[in-house]
Amino acid sequence: MQTEALKYLYDIREAALKIQCFTANKDEQDYLNDELLQSATERQFEIIGEALNKLCKAFPEVGESIPDYQKMIGFRNMLIHGYAVVDPVIV
């Protein structure tokens, strides 16, 4: 696999690990009451979606092998472009 594809996969993995770390031992109410946690989590979802989008464009056979890749990219687009209607419960 090419180095660039591995970089995107690394970025996706690291962002997912950060979300897991940020939200560890937190419940929905903790999340809803913490704007910093919401912002940090949303940012990592944005990174996942953007890296996945670039991966799919440059290496479609790799990107498209990830289940629900289109939903993840769509979620990123909603966070970026539809920020005014983001529901933190859904995030």
Residue 1: which pLDDT band, with cuts at 50, 70 and 90? Answer: low
Residues present in the chain in total: 91
Report which DSSP code applies to 57. Answer: H
Q: What does the block give as tokens for 51?
A: 């890296």
d(CA 4, CA 56): 12
Percent of the chain predicted with pLDDT > 90:
88
Per domain, the residue ranges of the chain are 3-85
pLDDT given for residue 74 in this prediction: 94
The pLDDT of 9-21, averaged and rounded, is: 98
- Residue 79 pLDDT more than 70? yes
The pLDDT of 57-83, averaged and rounded, is: 93
- Residue 6 pLDDT more than 90? yes
d(CA 77, CA 85): 12
Q: Which long-range contacts (CB under 8 A, 24 or more apart) does 31-38 make?
A: 31/88, 31/91, 32/88, 32/89, 38/88, 38/91
pTM: 0.90
